[in-house]
Amino acid sequence: MAKFDPDPSMLSEEVYRRELVKLQRELVKLQEWVRQEGLKMCVLFEGRDAAGKGGTIKRIVERTNPRVVRVVALDKPTERERSQWYFQRYTQHLPSGGEIVLFDRSWYNRAGVELVMGFCTQEEHEEFLRSCPEYERMLLRSGLVLVKYWFSVSDAEQERRFQARIRDPEKRWKLSTMDLESRARWADYSRAKDVMFQYTDTKWSPWWVVDANDKRRARLNCIAHLLSVVPYQDVTSKPLKLPRRQPDDYVRPPLNDQTFVPGAY
């Protein structure tokens, strides 16, 4: 197996970690502002397999509150869901006031994998392209903040990441049968993506393209842009005073009455 050496032009681990910590602190501030103001944020992450969507989402939620910032990653639709209005299964996961929802793939499945893999008809695909801009316009009119990211990765870089996953047993689970098939249909996915952009890269809901060849830069750039979408204020610095504990006159049962996890470390 050929060895793929990292590109020396990629961001160093030291710089990446330092900047990531700064951005994650700001994400907590954004989270608290969204919760206080009752805002509704919906962020879509789309792109090639192994483009780095999941890694970016992981860094966003690493230090945030899962009750405020939650991830939606839907499995293939059930028979019941297939009979529904296409957008219905996604609509039920949209944020309520004070929430940020991150879609790890979204309703744009129909414009990509469903079309290329033959999971939808040509008529269903065309209807999606007609309906999607109006659907997103309705979401925006309802007061929802919608942000769409497309992670763009080169053929060579995707190949390097696929090979790394094949070699590493701990990463091999990331390669599904669908991922492997999509690699064989690279050109079909490229055409599908360009058609999708033609219809859905609108003035009111544009696609933001993330150059994902350098994973570290992609994560930092995406998070920095997300922070710029909402003019938030820092409400985390307000003084907080802990209340006094009540007098503790309760006699607890002996510790040896409890079953403890063995100390393996």
Confidence bin at 4 (pLDDT 50/70/90)? very low
pLDDT average, residue stretch 231-254: 90
What contacts 116, CB < 8 A, 6 or more positions away? 182, 185, 188, 189, 192
Other Cβ atoms within 10 Å of 86 Cβ, number = 21
What is the rounded distance in angstroms from the CA atom of residue 57 to the CA atom of residue 102?
7
pLDDT in tens, 205-234: 999 999 999 999 999 999 999 999 999 999
Structural domain of residue 187, as residue ranges? 13-237
Task: Classify residue 244: in a domain, yes or no.
Answer: no
Residue 89 inside a domain? The answer is yes
Each residue of 17-75: pLDDT tens digit? 999 999 999 999 999 999 999 999 999 999 988 889 999 999 999 999 999 999 999 99
19 within some domain: yes
Asked whether residue 7 is assigned to any structural domain, the reply reads no
Tell me the CATH number at 93: 3.40.50.300
Residue 249 belongs to some domain of the structure: no
Q: Quick check: is 246 in a domain?
A: no
In a domain, 222, yes or no: yes
Question: CA-CA distance, 41 to 146, in Å (whole number)?
Answer: 6
Give the dihedral sign, CA 31/33/37/40. Answer: negative
Q: Where are the alpha helices (DSSP H) in the chain?
A: 13-37, 53-61, 79-82, 88-91, 113-116, 122-141, 155-167, 177-184, 186-200, 215-229
Structural domain count of the chain: 1
Instruction: Examine residue 181 and state whether it is found in any structural domain, yes or no.
Output: yes
